[in-house]
Copies of this chain bind each other. A is one copy, B any other.
Amino acid sequence: MRADARRNHERLLIEARAAFAEQGADAPLEEVARRAGVGIGTLYRHFPTRADLLNAVFQEELAELLHRSRELAEADAPCSALVEWLRALIAHAGEYRGLAHALMSASHDRSSALARCSDPLRAAGERLLGRAQEAGQVRADVSIGDLMQLTNAIALAAEQCPEDALLADRLLSLTLRGLKG
């Protein structure tokens, strides 16, 4: 890749991250391009779809979340570790308004970059869930897919009620009481 192209790529990522955090995951792409000092066409050349751009922005956060999951996988209490992990996912989704919705929309479209982005999260969650189930702390008939869908749905609901800071916690607790095996 040419030096100027690489530079544009980096600036686009930086500005996209800022714009998504400030204005939500549906921030105007035109503004991302403007802030990065490039034409809108250049943005599309580097990231053909919004999902591609979101995906690229979240690679960094994704690495952090996966790191956290490896820590939790060695915790003493498998069930608490799983719950901690789900809380971390909700907190992450809460940092970008509209992200929970984007992830949800993308989840059933396997060709989307954003859908692939949550595959490693799913795998990490599966390990934590498996441990909690083997320890007999979580029912065997709970699937990681259902659990992550529900987590995402809770994040989305919480996002709509920013004035109720504890909503996500309460909804998650309500849900988790149903996990106990």
Which A residues are closer than 8 A to B by beta carbons?
Answer: 101, 104-105, 107-108, 142, 146-147, 149-150, 152-154, 156-157, 160-163, 167, 170-171, 173-179
Contact = CB atoms under 8 A, between A and B. Distances in A.
A177 B177 CA distance: 7
Given A146-B167, A176-B178, 6 more contacts: A101-B101, A108-B163, A150-B157, A153-B156, A177-B178, A178-B178
A146 B170 CA distance: 8
B178 A149 contact: no
A177 B105 CA distance: 27
B149 A171 contact: yes
A107 B164 CA distance: 12
Contacts of A149: 157, 161, 167, 171
A99 to B, nearest CB: 14
